[in-house]
A and B are shown apart, each in its own frame.
Chain A
Amino acid sequence: MTWVQACKLTDIEQEGAIRFDHGGRTYAIYRAPDDSVYCTAGLCTHEAIHLAEGLVMDFEVECPKHSGAFDYRTGEALRLPACENLKTYPAEVIDGEVRVALG
């Protein structure tokens, strides 16, 4: 498992997400209402739309185009048209720096 420095916690709005591109792939990193962080694959499993542009409410992210929704902690698809779960990656905050394990 390779840990990658992604951003500062303060780069992400609380109850929000940012897009993170690394190694030719795209990810979404979330800052939950309790300031814990999570990382998932960046694109919705229904169509290639960046989830970080979608609305984050509690522990849910909604695709900005078709309103499919996922629990970003587990990647579980919660609402159609998304039916395939999102891949998730370990994420943590150390001294205000967010790092994710993408390996």
Chain B
Amino acid sequence: MDDIVIIGAGEAGTRAAFATREAGFSGAVTLIGTEPHLPYERPPLSKPLGGAVQMKTICTSEALEAAGIAYHQGLAAIRIDAAPRSIALSDGRALPYGKLLLATGAQTRRLACPGAERTLDFRTYRDAATLFSRAETGGPVAIIGGGLIGMELAAVLRGKGIAVSIIEAAPRPLGRAVPPRFAERLHARHREEGVHFHLGLGIAEITPDAVMLADGSRVPAGTVISAIGVLPDITLAERAGLATANGILTDSFLRTSDPHIFAAGDCAAVSQPGGRAIRFESWRNARSQAETAARNMTGTREAFAALPWFWSDQYDLGLQVAGLPQPGHQSILRPVAGGELEFYLADGRLVAAAGLGTGNAVAKDVKLAEMLIAAGIRPDLSALADPAVNLKALLKSARAA
């Protein structure tokens, strides 16, 4: 019995299903998703075209069929019985597995203040459809949380001429994933666009027409969006007795504490060479972990080693970050046409890079930086800082060395 069952039909689960076939696996593959649609991409949800929320499917039902993937939509896995290797489904059926992939993703964190039930979440197609239909007519919008999702939504709503406030408990927006220089640039741009910031303040209460802050001030809002981050969906794993922390713990091969069960995407906390376990919440990570997990479930033994990478579009600005920039890193600034790049070094070795510019102005250079990081270079700092020094030439000489 070597059938593969995948719980979760988001980017990771769906990608993994196809990747088992690309790896030559010929047994049964079953993909289970709780949402009542074909698998769809989440990044386009915050970018409605002409007012309508986009449902960009990851694949067609014909493609699923052609790959021999049995897709069950609108169905939940309610229990894993690890000893007989079987899962219990919400329709009462039991589904046996040889290898199981948990791609359960994450769920939005909920506010705990009075009136929290009045806020809208932003995670699913349904959330997006509700938000954009409400926001068009619902007066000013308050976004709780100045992270990537909150800031991206603010930019989209300002583009529609809607008044927007951002309320953030930390002293600065984008403090978690974005290097300070670019976080400041984006913050400034939002202010220029008319977004009102309320920073370093907790929430006392959400009323039908306002958010009341801890210092007594009142932020008028007809619609309140909660964008305070996500929590990995680890319920099934916990109940099955798998090791969990901030995510389902896996080794570097994306195997959980049960050798027949793997995890990938937003729900997986993957063991790192330094001993920590890290969970990444990004589109590319969901895909690359899914591919590694699929290969490992079908018999290879490949450590997951992809460099984290994400992008964020706000107004006409595009941000890209590769690797994990840390406050302790040495940073080197490089101006480029239409934007700026920053390189991050640890003990002389290039470990991360980020860029902010108009449209995709920094995309090529961040990609080259990613390849330079993978090549393990210890670059000449003045060359990195000098826009006249071609990064492609640096890469070629590094590869030739």
Contacts and interface: CB of A to CB of B under 8 A. Distances in A.
Contacts, number: 33
B286 to A, nearest CB: 12
A53 B392 contact: no
Question: Is the contact region of chain A dominated by helix, strand, or loop, or is it mixed?
Answer: loop
B392 A50 contact: no
A63 to B, nearest CB: 9
A62 B367 contact: yes
Contact of B367 (A49, A64, A80, A81): A64
Find the residue from B44, B56, B283, B363 having the highest chain A CB count within 10 A: B363
Contacts of B359: 53
A50 B358 CA distance: 13
Contacts of A54: 360, 363-364, 367
B284 A55 contact: no
B368 interface: yes
B25 interface: no
Contacts of A26: none
Contacts of A53: 359-361, 363-364
Question: Is the contact region of chain B dominated by helix, strand, or loop, or is it mixed?
Answer: helix
A81 B284 CA distance: 10
Given A55-B367, A55-B368, A64 B360 contact: yes
Interface string A50-63: 10011101000010
A65 interface: yes
Contact of A15 (B360, B363, B367, B392): B392
Contacts of B360: 49-50, 53-54, 64-65
Contact of B364 (A47, A49, A64, A80): A64
Chain B interface residue number, banded: 10 to 19
B363 A64 contact: yes
A5 interface: no
B132 interface: no
Nearest to B359: A53
B322 to A, nearest CB: 11
Contact of B284 (A50, A57, A67): A67
B197 interface: no
B311 interface: yes
A64 B313 CA distance: 13
Contacts of B367: 54-55, 62, 64, 67
Nearest to A17: B364
B311 A55 contact: no
Contacts of B363: 53-55, 64-65
A65 B311 contact: yes
Contacts of B364: 53-55, 64
Interface in A17-48: 47
Contacts of A81: 287
Nearest to B390: A13
A62 B364 CA distance: 9
Contacts of B392: 15, 57
A54 to B, nearest CB: 7
Nearest to B288: A67
Contacts of B311: 65
Nearest to A49: B360
A47 B58 CA distance: 11
A64 B320 CA distance: 10
A78 B336 CA distance: 29
Interface string B274-292: 0000000001100100000
Contacts of A57: 392
21 contacts: A15-B392, A49-B360, A50-B360, A53-B360, A53-B361, A53-B363, A54-B360, A54-B364, A54-B367, A55-B368, A62-B367, A64-B360, A64-B363, A64-B364, A64-B367, A65-B311, A65-B363, A66-B284, A67-B284, A80-B287, A81-B287
Given A49-B360, A65-B360, 6 more contacts: A50-B360, A53-B360, A53-B364, A55-B363, A64-B367, A65-B311
Interface of B: 44, 56, 283-284, 287, 311, 359-361, 363-364, 367-368, 392
Interface of A: 15, 47, 49-50, 53-55, 57, 62, 64-67, 80-81
